[in-house]
Amino acid sequence: MSSSVTSAVLLGRQLKQMESDKALSSISVGLINENIYEWGVVLMIPHDCPLYGGGCFKARLRFPTEYPILPPTMKFETPIWHPNIYPNGDVCISILHPPEVDQFGYEPVQERWRPLHTPESILMSVISLLGDPNDESPANTDAAMEWRDDRAAFKDRVKRCVRDSLEF
């Protein structure tokens, strides 16, 4: 069986499992244009999340045909202000970085992508990241500086993101 057939079968199983798992009620997933390699995601952030609680954020997961050997990419479609999300919406989190030695020596290889990760573990990690930004390796340096230097202004901006996400 080719790797693309294997990855399509695996993704199909993982999608079906996520769609039927009642414990994942705050995450909605579905295919975009019936393409198993492109998923639409809606993250309904629990109200008890310290920063983005109550928000409803749309994103896309794009899987390579080499999945699960290589990681997918994730991009928010709903505008979001966060140190680990690029201004264009691309998510920067260790588990989505390829399983190779970090050329800058910042991330240990065991923190990067491993085939044991699933779409569910990725999305749960992103939800966790929303509540606990990593400003040491920012994708959005302006958001990271505001997080470090003016927490009140950062939280005000996040509140606007949450409000706007409900209208998006």
Contact 84, 133 (CB under 8 A): yes
List the catalytic residue out of 49, 56, 92, 161: 92
In tens, the pLDDT along 17-44 reads 999 887 788 999 999 999 999 999 999 9
The average confidence (pLDDT) of the chain is: 91
Among this protein's residues, is 161 annotated catalytic? no
Has residue 101 got a pLDDT over 70? no
In tens, the pLDDT along 50-94 reads 899 999 999 999 999 999 999 999 999 999 999 999 999 999 998
Has residue 3 got a pLDDT over 70? no
Has residue 109 got a pLDDT over 80? no
Lowest mean pLDDT, pick from 77-81, 106-110, 154-158:
106-110
Q: Which domains, ranges and CATH numbers included, belong to the chain?
A: 3-167 (3.10.110.10)
Lowest mean pLDDT, pick from 1-5, 108-112, 161-165:
1-5
Residue 166, burial from CB neighbour count under 10 angstroms (0-12, 13-18, 19+)? exposed
Instruction: Please give the C-alpha separations between residue 58 and each of 40, 89, 164, in angstroms, as whole numbers.
Output: 7, 10, 12
